Structure 1
């Protein structure tokens, strides 16, 4: 399978759907501009900007720079097109691969994977992601801060848990737009190298793999994703 420009556009749309849902659920300000989407959070959540155009207009660039300079808390600018230089704003880049997978059959997972449907399950998934990913800016964890219960009412958002030896071992979040975006897939340190990540991903693909799925992979996770049919689209630049 060869990735295309359309795959990159799909990944950006999936990310926009994710951050729209999170901003609404968290009660954060959501700013839509032609060239980018911004979520303006509090001092813990910080500022999140997603570029939606590889060549933002000058007024969009100026608005982005103003947001970064006035930020409170952490800042992340996600540039999946890897087209904008933000070093003049005091930000540093890191590169991560964007990957896509077309629908294809897979074996069933080797561990039980459970869709999150109740607030107590969501609390567990939040704890796993905050500790396992980790989401340092949400530590110490305040229940419902990263993933408010309002997300359970959004049909496009789904969380999944995987258990090992009866204990929560891994979790992830998905957002369904035209395809599915996979985010924050992680396992807890004490359960790593035990097939937890593979089982979780197989379980998610078994339920949502009927459409293309996109993700941004940490370098260490790329071999797992590749083994289950994901191929690289491009290397995105994340500024922070």
Structure 2
């Protein structure tokens, strides 16, 4: 069959997901690869198990709580193949989040439970807004003490019951802080009440681990702590996967819904 719009038969037609395609080929690819870096980098620095291949990436920071460990498919491949590879490459008796940019079908036969289809939201640099106000003092974590404060707020404010009662080092080791990863904490005096993380990779900032303790709600803490992470790299777009409760906050910060992702949990 011939047609003026058909390419030559020997021409490679890129899907946009081959390993050698630049990260900036599309915003979604950029977000997928930046989240893959987020999954791997903290575990690699901490000397914990990690894997980064052509089709998926993941890291294991602990043996409790799925948010501790992330698995990110990097291509639209069969999720069952990824799960089988995870079992070969990483410890098998730990929980994890399986975060896919693509619909997956039913993964319950593989021991996973559906957590939802949160929207990937992005904010683009230069979008004018009035910065959110709060009466709390927002500081960047630069030492072990402030990192412990951030970890406690995340575990108690998110909340993460699997990691309670809180024990320092359950999620953040001293190696968590790095050039590519910044942690923010909001204080009322000496009391830490909110936290967020900014991880940068492939020209994009991933905003993660946003948590606010109940005593800080209604004080603009959620918006302000998210904003601190969002503008850590002012010239980059920022991305996050949003909860239902968080979406109105992120929309006020000029985040826009891009598409829905699919999140499964291996308990």
**TM-score where L is the length of structure 1:** 0.86
Question: Is contact 2:46-2:176 (8 Å) kept?
Answer: no
Aligned to 2:29: 9
State the Cα RMSD in Å.
2.6
The reply on whether 1:125 has 2:145 as its aligned counterpart is no
1:101/1:228 Cα in 2 relative to 1: closer, same or farther (>3 Å)? same
Aligned to 2:140: 115
Q: 2:262 aligns with which of 233, 237, 240?
A: 237
Question: Is contact 1:78-1:238 (8 Å) kept?
Answer: yes
1:233/1:25 Cα in 2 relative to 1: closer, same or farther (>3 Å)? same
Question: Is contact 1:116-1:160 (8 Å) kept?
Answer: yes
Aligned length: 235
The CA deviation string for residues 108-141 of structure 1, in whole angstroms up to 9 with x for no partner, is: 4423321111111111111111111122332222
Question: Is contact 1:82-1:236 (8 Å) kept?
Answer: yes
Q: By percentage of residues, which structure has more helix?
A: 1
Q: 2:57 aligns with which of 37, 41, 52?
A: 37
Q: 1:167 aligns with which of 161, 177, 191?
A: 191
Question: Is contact 2:195-2:211 (8 Å) kept?
Answer: yes
Unpaired stretches in structure 2, ≥5 consecutive residues: 1-23
Question: Is contact 1:113-1:200 (8 Å) kept?
Answer: yes
Aligned to 1:27: 47
Question: Which protein is bigger by CA-based radius of gyration?
Answer: 2
Q: Which has the higher contact order (CA 8 A, sep 6+)?
A: 1
Tell me the distance in 2 between the aligned counterparts of 1:43 and 1:200: 28
The reply on whether 1:102 has 2:124 as its aligned counterpart is yes
Question: Is contact 1:98-1:234 (8 Å) kept?
Answer: yes
After alignment, is 162-171 or 71-80 more displaced? Answer: 162-171
The CA deviation string for residues 66-120 of structure 1, in whole angstroms up to 9 with x for no partner, is: 679x721323211122235422213221221111110123334423321111111
Aligned pairs (5 A) from 1:115-154: 115-152=140-177, 154=178
The reply on whether 1:180 has 2:200 as its aligned counterpart is no
Question: Is contact 1:162-1:196 (8 Å) kept?
Answer: yes
